[in-house]
Amino acid sequence: MKSPLINKKVQVKIIRRKGSWLSEIHERHDGADLWSHARITFTGLPYDLHQRRYRDPLTKEERKWFESSESGFDVGTNGFSILRKDNYWTLFSVSIDRNGMELDLSDPADFLRYKFLLVQPQIAPSWADRFGSAEYKFAIVDGDEELNQRISQRDLKVKANRLFGKIESSSEKVRALLNLYNDLNGKHKIVEPETTHQFMIGQVDELMDTDLEGLLDIMENTKFEYMTLVYRAVEKGAVIKAGKGKYQINGELETFSFMELVDYLQDPENNLIYARIIALVEGNVELVTGEPDNKPNTTRGPKKDSKN
């Protein structure tokens, strides 16, 4: 009879979620996920309403091995069967605190804990699945997955730093990035023009730690340059807010939503207006209202990084 035991260790890790009121006070607030002295105890098997029976942690082959003398568990035939009224699982329990736990799958007792936790509705079967259910409090993480996750995060951070490096020297562009991020994520706060460059760099560094993928999604967007340009143009008066979510180019009558304006500026047919806004934002010309010259222009306006 083949043993189901595996020569591998897995971690049970707490899932840290953004958005709780305690995490808003501080990301590492003691009670943001689970108070430091608290424990969650899982006792007995969960009942599956659809199948109208308890969830079985073991396969038929695993159950047969654990009921044999080879396993070292003296439970007898059907001792692990979920159909038996008083089976091994009836009073079985596992307690986990915020530090999680390590399970050695080559150890029979730890293997049973591992299989038991996998059927609990508050345990994600993998780290990748940790946000798949609002019920998940902990996730099973094997060594290979954890290593791959670290490598993936490192690669993402290298990419994010490379993209951010293109605008890092410009306070205007960094401020536009932060305000764009805040608006897209429903955060009701504005980074004001008087905010120091050093403070804003610190804010971006913090986002790279707390929401790297969200920040990267914005910077990798093909419309990113034009999205941040709208924010910079509003600061300079080249674009005027004309009500909630509405914008007007100074000197023009047409009203746009944010993305309509972004698409308008990205359209090569609007090169003249785009170039005029770029010149105003970069400080190359002074703001003058009025109708723009409608002569055709097939060249894009200057796109050099501002040092402002």
pLDDT at 193: 94
Closest by CA to 231, choosing from 182, 298, 179, is 179
Answer yes or no: are the C-beta atoms of 180 and 218 closer than 8 Å.
yes
Structure tokens at 153: 């995060």
Structure tokens at 226: 């034009």
pTM to 2 decimal places: 0.56
| Position 25 pLDDT exceeds 70 | no
Which DSSP helix (H) or strand (E) runs through 15?
A: none
Q: What are the tens digits of pLDDT across the range 256-279?
A: 999 999 999 999 999 999 999 999
pLDDT band per the 50, 70, 90 thresholds, residue 196: very high
Burial of 232 (0-12, 13-18, 19+ CB in 10 A): buried
Percent of the chain with pLDDT over 70: 85
The mean pLDDT value for 238-267 works out to 93
Q: Which residues of 23-61 are buried (b: 16+ CB within 10 A; e: fewer)?
A: beeeeeeeebbbeeeeebebeebeeeeeeeebbbbbeee
Q: What are the tens digits of pLDDT across the range 282-298?
A: 886 555 544 444 433 33
pLDDT at 127: 87
Strand (E) positions, 181-262? 239-241, 246-249, 255-257
Q: Which residues contact 305 (CB under 8 A, 6 or more apart)?
A: 166, 167, 169, 170, 173
pLDDT at 9: 92
pLDDT at 284: 62
Q: What are the tens digits of pLDDT across the range 135-171?
A: 999 999 987 776 777 788 899 999 999 999 999 999 9
